[in-house]
Amino acid sequence: MIHSLGAGGAEHALLELARAAPAAGLALSVLSLASTVEARYVTCLREAGADVVELNVPTKWDARTFTKTLAATRCLAPDLIHTHMKHADLAGAYVRRG
């Protein structure tokens, strides 16, 4: 889970994880809270085999983030949730409690 998939260090680390996941026998889903203007990382993540879901939350502090994240993670049914950046950290903590 990450706030957005724009260009940055956390996004690059996530891409490296996605590239390594198949060899480790992991199926990776990436949940982005915000929509992505530049689709470079979205495209690369999908090419690496990751399922990418964008919630399109309009602002970092939109209260709908929590309900949308909870609904999306229930559909994805992950065994593990790893978060990047503070907004995704907060949403991930909410999902864990929900």
Tens of pLDDT, residue by residue over 42-63, are 999 999 999 999 999 988 889 8
Q: Residue 37: what pLDDT?
A: 78
pLDDT of residue 38: 79
Element (H, E) at 54: strand 51-54
Parts of the chain with a pLDDT under 50: none
| Cα–Cα distance list, 21 to 16, 25, 48, 64, 88 (Å) | 9, 6, 9, 30, 20
